[in-house]
Amino acid sequence: MTPLIEPNTGFKFDNVKRNQLLSDKGYMTPTATKTGTTIVGLLYKDGVVLGADTRATSGPIVADKNCRKIHYLAPNMYCCGAGTAADTDYTTNMVGSQLALHALNTGREARVVTAMTKLKQYLFRYQGHVGAALILGGVDVTGPHLFTIHPHGSTDKLPYVTMGSGSLCAMSVFESSWRPNLTRDEAVEMVKDAIESGIFNDLGSGSNVDVCVITKDNVEYIRGHSQPNERVAKEQSYRFAAGTTEFIGSKAGAPAEGAAAMDVSA
């Protein structure tokens, strides 16, 4: 008989037993790292406008103040990513290469719905363990399209969408202001306002506003379209005159009895 060998591919859940053991012994179990983001998209008269903030976080730490969250997929479509940065980068790069091969094989520009199908099928396969929440926007022969793809593989097709930890703040701007047949300038301004709403009301979002305008014949990717958190000059001097704080003395305290000296030979 051929012995059953566990395959080396796919996800492994060996740490479930480890976490249970730690929990039984009263230790804290490791928690998943979550990231914060505000990404949005809307349809306007001539195409699609996508927007994103530029803060990348690792727990309570701001890891990158100018992270690029709007990813290239094809000449006629881009994709905003929220969630785990590595997952969004890898997933969009992989599907982007598949769309390039698709265009070469068929001799025509890939449709937006093709990219959506590839993304949702890939994410559904991993049942949400690939932490990529995506907003896909583009224009093809059938017109402008805007989709959201959730980490579990479910999708929505709507005229305006938001995702990420600041999505509720951004959605409040869209629901109060969006209307059909917006002009380009109105759409870009609304996207900017929605992202800034996330930046100022969600701790996981911050820094600048990136915008991508996609039309039938052109793509305009604007890095740093709005920079609401630029560092400004301090309003007053924080230098204090000598003697402001009482100085007690400079004699170092004696080491405790029996304390070993620190080895600094290395």
> Among candidates 37, 45, 41, 36, which has minimal Cα distance to 191?
41
For residue 78, give both structure tokens.
């881009």
User: Is residue 147 helix, strand or coil?
Assistant: strand
For residue 22, give both structure tokens.
């730690």
Q: Are 136 and 71 in contact (CB under 8 A)?
A: no
Give the Cβ contact number of residue 155 at 10 Å. 17
Residue 48: is it exposed, middle or buried by C-beta count within 10 angstroms (0-12/13-18/19+)?
Answer: buried
35 is catalytic: no
Strand order, beta sheet including 143-149: 70-74, 77-83, 132-140, 143-149, 155-157
The dihedral over CA atoms of 153, 157, 161, 163, expressed in degrees to the nearest 10, equals 0
> Among candidates 62, 55, 132, which has minimal Cα distance to 91?
132
> Among candidates 32, 90, 89, 27, which has minimal Cα distance to 56?
89
The one-letter code for the residue type at 45 is K
Residue-wise DSSP of 43-96:
EETTEEEEEEE--EEETTEEEESS---EEEEETTEEEEEEE-HHHHHHHHHHHH
> Which of these is catalytic: 35, 37, 91, 92?
37
Active centre residues (catalytic): 37
